[in-house]
Amino acid sequence: MESLVTALNQKRIDFTLDSIAKAIADNISPNEADRMRIRSCAQKIANKKGVKVTDVIDEHSLPDFLGEFAKKLGKEIEARIAIEDIKNNHVIDTEYDAVYIVSDRDAFSYTRSQCQNVIRLCQQNNVHYALTNPCIEFFYLLHWTDCTQYSRSEIAANKKSGRRTFVHLELSKYDERYGKKNFSCDKYFQRYAVAKRNASLYATSIEELVDDVGSTFFDLVDLLLGG
């Protein structure tokens, strides 16, 4: 946090949400859509704190305001920095390698516009996006069943019961030992052909997966298997 304050001080700006947002935007991206998102975050923080974006923030309150920016922009900034780092340092040999981002659709914490923004950034930077809607457990569940006994809205909602989601609970009926950090890959590899056949009943394109259940995780597995 101190390094960020120092960097902002070097720009000789007034500590207002408006000027901080502009300084952050100048350092992160020249893209106007990105700049608008950052300014929108500044306005939301101002509304939450009951201040104007042009009000000067005192030094005592500054860490709190910067923390709010970090919460709202952190994930997007990290993704942008990671992609730019790959491009600038050429750590990926594009003749032989592919870069993948893997994530759930997870409507609880991942908005539609955020999902579309990730897709856009991936397309712009030649990054593949392995997305599963609603969660990776749906990809695993397709190894055991075609899921036609459930409604699509039921799968998409993926409501929580205790610490586990609907899809996770259903998967546990087929794989009692399944855990996010500990499960047997071998039995899933053995049923992979079944999973691909079942997956054909659902969305398989990245654009469809913004709103519909399905997965593109199979693309990554096929690549790893040399298929």
What is the pLDDT, as a whole number, of residue 2? 46
44 DSSP β-pair partners: none
Please give the backbone phi and psi of residue 184, each rounded to the nearest 5 degrees, phi first: -85, 115
Model confidence at 172, pLDDT cuts 50, 70, 90, reads very high
Is the pLDDT score of 120 beyond 80?
yes
What's the one-letter identity of residue 82?
A
pLDDT at residue 82 in the model: 58
Give the closest residue to 122 by CA, choosing from 64, 83, 76.
83
Find, among 220, 208, 200, the residue nearest to 146 by Cα.
200
* Token code pair at residue 209: 């997966």
pLDDT band with cut points at 50, 70 and 90 for residue 35: confident
Strand partners, 129: 101
Q: What confidence tier does 104 reach under pLDDT thresholds 50, 70, 90?
A: very high
Instruction: Name the DSSP class of 128.
Output: E
pTM of the model: 0.60
> Rounded distance, CA 146 to CA 191, Å?
12
pLDDT digits (tens, 9 = 90+) for 42-96: 888 888 888 888 888 877 777 777 777 777 666 555 556 555 665 565 555 556 5
Cα separation of 85 and 169, whole Å?
39
